[in-house]
Amino acid sequence: MTTRFEGNVALVTGGSRGIGAAIARRLASEGADIVLTYGGSKDKAEAVAEDIRGMGRKAEAVHCDASVRGETAKLVADVVERHGKLDVLVNNSGVYPLTSLSKCSDEIWDQMLAINVTAVFEGMRAAYQVMKPGASIVTIGSIAGDAAQMPGVGVYSSSKAAAELITRAAGREYGRKGIRANVVQPGPIDTDMNPADGQTADMQKMMVPLGRYGEAEEVANAVAFLASDEASFINGTTLKVCGGMTA
């Protein structure tokens, strides 16, 4: 394994499980010190942090309620205060409400926008103030941000479309400061939010040319690439990790 992130400090929101945990472990395996956030899974977050410390890297699990205005911005400032800098920001926190547009409640809509969109915006706005040239931002979107592929995902799709465009816009604006911002759009990934043995799993697999769900580590591979200097001229774009589902 390379040490592309040796000496870097990375913040991974929603890093207690699934894709976020895989990203935190992957960046740490390549040399980064990690701050990962959790909402309600403290034990899982601490377990990920302990794994990372076992790699010889610094790691801390921090509670952050991404649905509360200002919490993500405060988190970014706190990371820099404690660690002296922020080299990589991974916007991974998200909720996945399955509801039709006609039946979506105000509460579900407001929470989803707060976590999937506003927190991404707040984190990137705060990161711009403290990041140095060469730093990188990666937002975890979804191929659902391109199209509502099946009933019940339209509400979620709208939030992921917004998060993608905000991040790509940041790539255009922040690039002048030498800060890159890109999006990773996973397809069906085997996590507790969308398990490979779930009710819609067979239908999703049929839509993937490779005929299977992806693994969280495969998304982490893409994030590590985009956050690294190997992707130094990749900015304001979207990388799909979906097995050809959108081909």
Answer yes or no: are the C-beta atoms of 117 and 163 closer than 8 Å: yes
pLDDT tens for 131-168 read: 999 999 999 999 999 988 777 889 999 999 999 999 99
The mean pLDDT of the chain is 95
Q: For a pLDDT cut of 90, what percent of the chain falls above it? A: 87
Six-digit token pair at 124?
């990137």
CA contacts within 13 A on the Cβ side of 239:
20
CA distance 245 to 242: 5
| pLDDT number for residue 194 | 87
**Phi/psi at 17 (5° precision):** -160, 170
Q: What's domain 9-187+219-238's superfamily in CATH?
A: NAD(P)-binding Rossmann-like Domain (3.40.50.720)
- The answer to which of 15-19, 100-104, 146-150 has the lowest mean pLDDT is 146-150
Q: Is the Cα dihedral 247, 225, 198, 145 positive or negative? A: negative
Q: Determine which one of 38, 96, 128, 156 is catalytic.
A: 156
| pLDDT number for residue 141 | 97
CA distance 36 to 144: 25
| pLDDT over threshold 90, residue 98 | no
CA distance 170 to 88: 14
38 among known catalytic residues: no
Q: Are strands 88-91 and 238-241 parallel, antiparallel or unpaired?
A: unpaired
Answer yes or no: are the C-beta atoms of 13 and 66 closer than 8 Å: yes
Which residues, in sequence order, are bridge partners of residue 186?
A: 241
| pLDDT number for residue 40 | 86
Give the confidence band of 1 by pLDDT, cuts at 50, 70, 90: low
Average pLDDT over residues 170-179: 98
E strands, 114-179, are 136-140
Give the confidence band of 12 by pLDDT, cuts at 50, 70, 90: very high
CA angle 226, 16, 24 (to 5 degrees): 30
pLDDT tens for 29-55 read: 999 999 999 998 899 999 999 999 999
| pLDDT number for residue 199 | 85
